[in-house]
Amino acid sequence: MTVLDQTPAGTSSRTAELIMDLQSVGLRIETTLETSRTGGAGPSDSGMLWIEGVPVTVPPSDTSPYSLRAEDEGQGIFRDGVKVASVAGTKRPRFYDLETADGVPYHQIALLHLDSLASTVVQACNYWGNSDQCGFCGIGVSLAAGNTIAKKTPEMLAEVAVAARDLDGAVDATLTTGSSVAPDRGALYVARCGQAVKEAAGLPVEVQFEPPRDLSVLDQVHDMGIDSVGVHIESFDPAVLARVAPGKFRTGMDAYFRTWERAVQLFGEGRVSTYVILGMGEDPDLTVEMCRRAVDIGVYPFVVPLRPVAGSLMQDVPAPSREYTEPIYRKVAGFLAERGLGADTAVAGCARCQACSSLNLVQQTTGVTPCGTGGAPAAAPLLQIGKRPGA
């Protein structure tokens, strides 16, 4: 079942606007929230919810105007004492209570993000703890807190994937890794882990890694049966990249595009994605232009708002407002529709899940549908793209 199947066809633009707001200002938790994520390499410090049937991750916030409250049946989101949405929480996955034969808890090996199994297979990065550390990243935070282990083996991940599928309905697996100084940048190890998961559990698998120095590494990853890949540039603004992710900046924009082009040849259009984080001071017009360039070669730019991670270098940087993110979402949604791409073409990974972004939700609720799915692109009027946050 894809995210398009899960999201109600009648999801309103009001719900979409609410979710974009929540991903900006967060949510005050006034009841029990059973599943959340802290630390990690990607967007984290999140509560995992279904809001009006839409899968969403939302950052908890003590200052948000929105609150999550218990009701007689279920939970609701309130603002100024008025209920604005119904919520279904996610229960603690049953596989979290299991452990390997040598005593490693399953939840230290992989986590369930709504219906997607996710793991950082090597919880270390050559950028972490030095002048190259990415400002938005918290890969070392969860390891220091004892919430995970430093390196997961293919055998461990395969075992956990089977349990997550059978006990909790996991539908795909997303495996990432810290960047490595090795020529393959860690791609081959994370791919071997993905191969083990796919062979044991039969789940579609995405693996994520930095551009390898030799593009033939991509052929090896493809030959292992991996379904999709994420190669994350994080920002298309060179000035921002140099400031918040100097290691990625030195890799160079051209290297990312070369990697994406080769990956699309191997994995297919829509099965190659890249994170594009909004709210780090980027030029919004440049960001939109470069997202179009990525879409034009078949890459899915997974546009997300900055999710400040406690313990990261950018922990005190505020998330961007909906007024800033929404027009960018709308522009990129239009590009995706023109190319015939959507969450359903992603097969696995973050672009399939969509819970940390409102991109797919905007694409649906504005009538911007992939050309190949029977709908003609028909976006609602775009808001003017305003001043970049932090500028």
Give CA–CA dist 352/347, Å, rounded: 6
In a domain, 389, yes or no: no
How far apart (Å, rounded) are the C-alpha atoms in residues 359 and 301? 10
- For residues 12 and 362, the answer to whether their CB atoms sit within 8 Å is no
**What long-range pairs does 197-201 form, CB within 8 A, spacing at least 24?**
197/117, 197/154, 197/157, 197/158, 197/161, 197/173, 198/173, 198/225, 198/226, 198/227, 199/158, 199/225, 200/158, 200/159, 200/161, 200/162, 201/158, 201/161, 201/162, 201/164, 201/165, 201/170, 201/173
Q: In this predicted structure, what is the pLDDT of residue 34? A: 57
Beta-carbon contacts of residue 146 (< 8 Å; ≥ 6 apart) = none
Residue type, position 18, single letter: L
Tokens describing residue 307: 């999710």
Ranges of the chain whose pLDDT falls below 70: 1-11, 34-46, 366-391
Distances (CA, A) of 151 to 42, 144, 155, 244: 17, 13, 12, 26
Is 382 contained in some domain? Answer: no
Number of domains in the chain: 1
User: Would you state the pLDDT for residue 96?
Assistant: 97
For residue 70, tell me if it sits in a domain: yes
CATH of residue 175's domain is 3.20.20.70
What letter represents residue 109's amino acid?
I
Q: What are phi and psi of 244, to 5 degrees?
A: -100, -15
Residue 213 belongs to a domain? yes
- Give the alpha-carbon dihedral of 28, 33, 39, 44, to 10 degrees: -70
CA distance 74 to 185: 45
Residue 387 lies in a domain: no
* pLDDT tens, position by position, 253-298: 999 999 999 999 999 999 999 999 999 999 999 999 999 999 999 9
Token output for 116: 């997607």
Note whether residue 378 is domain-resident. no
Domain assignment present for residue 250? The answer is: yes
Asked whether 302 and 264 are in contact (CB, 8 A), the reply is no
The pair of structure tokens assigned to 93 is 């996955």
The whole-model pTM stands at 0.88
Asked whether 342 and 172 are in contact (CB, 8 A), the reply is no
Domain that holds residue 236: 3-373
In a domain, 168, yes or no: yes
